[in-house]
């Protein structure tokens, strides 16, 4: 599997409401842009070496998943459960809706650079 396909397949697996809307292949890295439910875009630059190593199971794949998840989490709104408590997909308590940075507040688009 090539790097582009790997990234495109991993994002919806790790954050179901996020999707890859753009990948630019550069000499040393992939510039990945992700969209979700918030209406903003987030991006991350991932070194080619990291993506190539992640094509095989192991720590490199886990590192790539962690980077993509952090980026995707920025574009997916958390849904309150009706009691003012926001829960993540796995059911763990995240934070109350009144806390700073809650889903009701606008998020700016961002670009992160991942160093292997």
Average pLDDT, the chain: 77
Write the pLDDT tens digit of every residue in 22-37. Answer: 999 999 999 999 999 9
Say how many Å lie between the first and final Cα of the chain, rounded. Answer: 21
Looking at residue 55, the DSSP 8-state letter turns out to be: T
CB 86 within 8 A of CB 47: no
pTM of the model: 0.68
Looking at residue 98, the DSSP 8-state letter turns out to be: T
Which pLDDT belongs to residue 66? 93
Write the pLDDT tens digit of every residue in 36-95. Answer: 998 889 999 999 999 999 988 788 899 999 999 999 998 998 777 666 655 554 433 333
């Amino acid at each position: 599997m090539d790097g582009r396909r790997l990234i495109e397949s991993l994002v919806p697996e790790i954050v179901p409401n996020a999707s890859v809307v753009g990948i630019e292949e550069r000499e040393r890295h992939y510039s990945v842009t992700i969209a979700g439910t918030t209406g903003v875009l987030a991006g991350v630059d991932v070194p080619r070496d990291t993506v190539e190593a992640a094509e095989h199971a192991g720590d490199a794949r886990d590192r790539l998943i962690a980077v993509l998840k952090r980026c995707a989490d920025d574009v997916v709104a958390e849904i309150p459960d009706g009691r003012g408590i926001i829960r993540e997909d796995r059911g763990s308590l995240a934070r109350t809706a009144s806390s700073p940075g809650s889903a009701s507040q606008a998020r700016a688009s961002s670009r992160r650079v991942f160093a292997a």
